[in-house]
Amino acid sequence: MTAFLFTLLLLAGCGNQASEVDGSAPETGEDVIRAMQTAYEGDWYDTITFVQTTINHGPMGADTLIWYEALKLPGRLRIDIGRPSSGDTWIFRNDSIYVYSAGRLANAVPTVHPLLLLGFDVYHMPAADVIAKLDTLGFDLSSMYQTEWNGRPVYAVGADSAGT
């Protein structure tokens, strides 16, 4: 279900631009990936930096942190958690995550970051590579349907209809 909702939200950004592949409406999630690439071919950025406020809710209440993020596409994302000088950093690179605490490597594990893949890398990688990675994450690209989200037309990938 998470993969479905995730894809639905992401594809909301495609709107009508990605409504067709080779003149016809997409029939599968794979077609949607190709339509996304066609819609933004040559127009997607290679690098971006931004700052965001994050709120983590836990048993002791809410904790608010500033995250400093930098992307270099495809496949590279650095997130400094709190002050960059703290050395608390997550680095996503080559389908792995490297977690630093106080400037020291604390953990490194293979990880395909779904938001990095679907929100950014999809525009810088061959469709076959994106589809293969989505398959390893358990995305069902064989089923999809058209719906609306926030008043905009979208393709919901991973289900045949709402609630499935």
Sort 102 into a burial class: Cβ within 10 Å, 0-12 / 13-18 / 19+: exposed
Select from 88, 92, 81, 93 the least CA-distant residue to 106: 88
For the segment 13-32, what is each residue's pLDDT rounded down to a tens digit? 454 444 555 668 899 999 99
> How many residues are recorded in the chain?
164
For the segment 56-115, what is each residue's pLDDT rounded down to a tens digit? 999 999 999 999 999 999 999 999 999 999 999 999 998 999 999 999 999 999 999 999
